[in-house]
Structure 1
Amino acid sequence: MADIDVSVIFTTLKLASVVTLWLLLIAIPLAWWLSQTKSKWKGVVGALSSLPLVLPPTVLGFYLLVALGPNGPLGQFFTPLGLDRLPFTFSGIAIACIVHSLPFVIQPLQNSFTAIGTRPLEVAATLRASPWNAFWYVAMPLAWPGVFAAAIMGFCHTLGEFGVVLMIGGNIPGKTRVVSVEIYNYVEALEYGKAHLLAGGMVVFSFMALLAIYALNYKHQARI
């Protein structure tokens, strides 16, 4: 580890943690709405939230770069909040990663909420539970394995993000340089030993995270 820039690992973990927190705050209510609504706008909202799955990261990164710029709609929105000049900043890559990782969090959540069915909520309604109480005390406890899986997927996807981060944040040491970009730098410099160290660490971490998800789902299914 002496030859590896530790600040890159710290920046990556900080980014993944911040993005995952915001993803859950945004995706939980959105996934709940998508799982329950019969609105004609459901397909449009679902398609928009899933768009990052099919767009090349460079395309998404380019339009986010334009949108987050000083004259872009998102840039003008965030400027009064003190977040001006978002491109090539940590806040800028965090916002970009939230957008890019959103479908990886929404889909597990939506599937978990849909799997609950209507029966538990109907029972809660007969006991005069408000929709808010039914959501927090019935739906969320039943869907918590999906919430855990969504958080892990969002965290791991952010850890490995490359294209969008490079487009929005560039390659600034201590600010926007993350592990995936650092691996690219090592490969470009033919320093394969360092690249193996970082890449291997990400492989092991991602495997363990996925293993935890499968183990949790297995235990949950066994209890059912």
Structure 2
Amino acid sequence: MNIDFTPFLLSFKLAFFTTSILLIIGIPFAWFLSSTKSKFKPVLEAISALPIVLPPSVLGFYLLVFLSQSSPVGRFFEEMFNMKLVFTFEGLVVASSIYSFPFMIQPLQNGFENIPKNIIEASYLSGKGRLATLFKVILPNMKTSLMTAIIITFAHTVGEFGVVLMVGGSIPGKTEVASVAIYDYVETLDYESAHIYSLIMLAISFVVLLFVYIFNEKQKKRFL
């Protein structure tokens, strides 16, 4: 049988945009969480971790309502940018960024918190500002956490199902990512196609996790 790779390309495209957006947002947010002493820190951490414990159907439903044209956010994007956020690829990016948020934030926050304070203080004493310290001192010393955050976020987005189905539906070539395509094949009793797509997803997931563990082991050996 001929395999249509469009759903996989859509999944990778979605994962790329989601990971890129979350990396830009996640670095300053995780840096703030790791350094703040505010009494509201646990509240912010709990909110950012909500997508981990919320059922995808619950999160997907509220995102569907939040991004629809009847909501202020949906109307704003449609009136200002002529962009619909429901049943579109752009909507998938927004929903995936929210759903994958903790998978980017938590590894980054752990990486920031494990940086020795004396390294940061030495950077400040040498005249470097906060931004220079962040990008020239801190991030290069937490490569393992940074790479883990990027890869896990990317892999998690590739495997998303419930949220993307609720917000994007199953429009071939537009919102039908690989996980949704598998669901559609099962619904139509096309188990052969579902089996092939599932094996490809299984292989991708294994390779991604294997890469993470190999990279982490190499990083550990460098410091032994």
TM-score range, shorter chain: over 0.9
Please give the per-residue CA displacement for 1:102-123, whole angstroms capped at 9, x wherever unaligned.
Answer: 1011111111111113121011
SS in 1 for 2:173: coil
Unaligned runs of 5+ in 2: none
**Alignment partners' CA distance in 2, 1:203 and 1:9:** 13
Q: Does 1:198 align with 2:197?
A: yes
Provide closer, same or farther for how the CA distance between residues 102 and 138 of structure 1 changes in structure 2, counting only shifts above 3 A: same
Give the letter for the 1:150 counterpart: A
Please give the per-residue CA displacement for 1:90-134, whole angstroms capped at 9, x wherever unaligned.
Answer: 000110000000101111111111111312101111212111111
Residue 156 of structure 2 aligns with which residue?
Answer: 157
Please give the per-residue CA displacement for 1:172-207, whole angstroms capped at 9, x wherever unaligned.
Answer: 111110100111111122222211211111111111
Residue 142 of structure 2 aligns with which residue?
Answer: 143
Deviation at 1:23, TM superposition (A): 1.2
Contact 1:88 1:169 in 2 (8 A): yes
Residue-pair matches, total: 223
User: Residues 1-224 of structure 1 correspond to what in structure 2 (within 5 A)?
Assistant: 2-224=1-223
Q: Percent identity?
A: 46
Query: What TM-score, normalized to structure 1?
Result: 0.95
Give the letter for the 1:116 counterpart: I
Contact 2:182 2:194 in 1 (8 A): yes
Give the letter for the 1:6 counterpart: F
Give the letter for the 1:101 counterpart: S
Contact 2:92 2:168 in 1 (8 A): yes
Contact 1:112 1:143 in 2 (8 A): yes
**Alignment partners' CA distance in 2, 1:6 and 1:217:** 31
Give the letter for the 1:191 counterpart: D
Query: What TM-score, normalized to structure 2?
Result: 0.95
Contact 1:86 1:92 in 2 (8 A): yes
**Alignment partners' CA distance in 1, 2:82 and 2:208:** 33
Unaligned runs of 5+ in 1: none
SS in 2 for 1:116: coil
Which has the higher mean CA deviation after the structures are superposed, 157-166 or 212-221? 212-221
**Alignment partners' CA distance in 2, 1:81 and 1:154:** 30
Give the letter for the 2:212 counterpart: I
**Alignment partners' CA distance in 2, 1:83 and 1:56:** 31
**Alignment partners' CA distance in 2, 1:218 and 1:77:** 47
Which has the higher mean CA deviation after the structures are superposed, 191-200 or 58-67? 191-200
Provide closer, same or farther for how the CA distance between residues 39 and 212 of structure 1 changes in structure 2, counting only shifts above 3 A: same
Which has the higher mean CA deviation after the structures are superposed, 64-73 or 134-143? 64-73
